[in-house]
Amino acid sequence: MSSSSLAAPRATRRGDDTCVPATDTRSAQAVVRVTGLSKRYDDGFQALKDVDLEIRRGEIFALLGPNGAGKTTLISMICGLVNLGAGQVTVDGHDVVRDFRAARACIGLVPQELHTDAFETVWSTVSFSRGLFGKPPNPAHIERVLRDLTLWGKRNNRLLSLSGGMKRRVMIAKALAHEPSILFLDEPTAGVDVELRREMWELVRALRDNGVTIILTTHYIEEAEEMADRVGVINGGEIILVDEKTELMRKLGRKQLTLHLQEPLDTVPASLSAYSLELAGDGHELVYSYDAATDSTGIAELLTDLKAADIRFRDLHTEQSSLEDIFVSLVRESR
């Protein structure tokens, strides 16, 4: 998948169907601003509860949450697929209800499901998307997008003849056909193989490098860890936390030192009770949890005390908790 010329936003023409930032100085930083957003469906299900969220221009924002947390509802409300309940959403300073044309012109959406017109060709369906978003025909741009997504060779193929991975690329091509400045990817790599997933990650990075703001929801925490600049965690319709990914991992991430003992222990000696120690591996491993962010990790003192207690070890290694560990912990705490 080439990443040379992916759809950079080009606000070359001012008009209702062109993505032009509103003259709101606050929008310079927050390209999507969600304020007090709530949604209760007709069946009584409260999908969102008073959600506040800001997405910064040019970032990759990963929205994490378990099934039914409200991720897709939130995206759908921003994109106009679900009627707004209480609250307000602005995109590049444009209210998504009052100024829906300008707001939606900025957005490209790749939905979770593979919704395609089976009998259309790749070229016609991508060209259709461009027209639908109010842009004049531009075969050169469509060709560029198709080449970038390695779909050029399939441009005359009907969608029904494409593999699942190819259809996923077509969905992305359709979303990029009108040169959006904000791209929503709802579970973009669900059901795709590892190779294609890595290609998509490259694509997303290339888009970001071209100035496109990316908001992605994913079940693969590894994906967020790999790509996101900031991470938001949603559960039960509420945003639990939003933070820089690196900051989040620094603050909430835990490090563990595992010592492989020469002789197994039945219990942790009383002389070591001051340390956060656990026995594992039938007493052959002593696991010490510590906060890597503090000045003193306590490792040096622990090793001294172990020697004093005549506990010998033959090996040691350290591990840092992943974003997945942090995510699981946050979701558990919020229940």
Partner 1 sequence: MNWYAVRAIYRFEMARARRTLLQSVVSPVLTTCLYFVVFGAAIGSRITEVEGVSYGAFIVPGLIMLMLLTQSVSNASFAIFMPRFSGTVYEVLSAPISHYEIVLGYVGAAATKSVILGLIVLATANLFVPLEIQHPVWMMLFLILTACTFSLLGFIIGIWADNFEKLQFVPLLIITPLAFLGGTFYSINMLPPVWQTITLLNPVVYLISGFRWSFYGMADVNVALSLAMILLFLGGCLTLVWWIFKTGYRLKA
Q: For 181, how many CA atoms within 13 A lie in the half-sphere containing its CB?
A: 23
Nearest approach, Cβ of residue 100 and partner 1 (Å):
7
Options 102, 122, 228, 286; binder of partner 1; rule CB under 8 A: 102
Listing DSSP states for 42-62 in one string gives: TTS-EEEEEEEEEEETT-EEE
What are residue 277's phi and psi, to 5 degrees? -120, 145
Output b/e per residue, 238-277; b: 16+ Cβ within 10 A. bbbbbbebeebbeebbbbbbbbebeeebeebeeebeebeb
Listing DSSP states for 308-330 in one string gives: HTT--EEEEEEEE--HHHHHHHH
Nearest approach, Cβ of residue 247 and partner 1 (Å):
32
Contact status: 107 vs partner 1 (CB under 8 A): yes
Residue 310's contacts (CB-CB under 8 Å, 6 or more residues apart) are none
Options 10, 50, 81, 280; binder of partner 1; rule CB under 8 A: 81
Residue 222's contacts (CB-CB under 8 Å, 6 or more residues apart) are 322, 323, 324
Q: Kindly indicate which of the ranges 113-121, 140-148, 258-266, 274-282 contains the residues binding partner 1, using the contact rule CB under 8 A.
A: 113-121
Nearest approach, Cβ of residue 78 and partner 1 (Å):
9
Nearest approach, Cβ of residue 74 and partner 1 (Å):
13
Options 4, 12, 25, 42; binder of partner 1; rule CB under 8 A: 42
d(CA 30, CA 11): 18
Nearest approach, Cβ of residue 280 and partner 1 (Å):
48
Beta partners for residue 109, in sequence order: 184
Which segments of 107-156 does DSSP mark as H helices, in order? 122-132, 139-148
Nearest approach, Cβ of residue 110 and partner 1 (Å):
10
Is 184:79 a contact under the CB 8 Å cutoff? yes
Beta partners for residue 233, in sequence order: 64, 241
Map the footprint of partner 1 across residues 3-22, applying CB under 8 A.
16-17
Q: Kindly indicate which of the ranges 29-37, 105-113, 300-308, 320-328 contains the residues binding partner 1, using the contact rule CB under 8 A.
A: 105-113
Please identify, using beta-carbon distances, which residue of 51 and 79 lies nearer to partner 1. 79
Q: Kindly indicate which of the ranges 102-110, 143-151, 264-272, 305-313 contains the residues binding partner 1, using the contact rule CB under 8 A.
A: 102-110
Map the footprint of partner 1 across residues 126-185, applying CB under 8 A.
128-136, 174
Size of the site for partner 1 (CB under 8 A): 36
DSSP H/E element including 279: strand 277-280
Contact status: 41 vs partner 1 (CB under 8 A): yes
Options 33, 71, 104, 230; binder of partner 1; rule CB under 8 A: 104
Nearest approach, Cβ of residue 82 and partner 1 (Å):
5
Binding site for partner 1 (CB under 8 A): 16-17, 41-42, 76, 79-83, 100-105, 107, 109, 111, 113, 115-119, 124, 128-136, 174
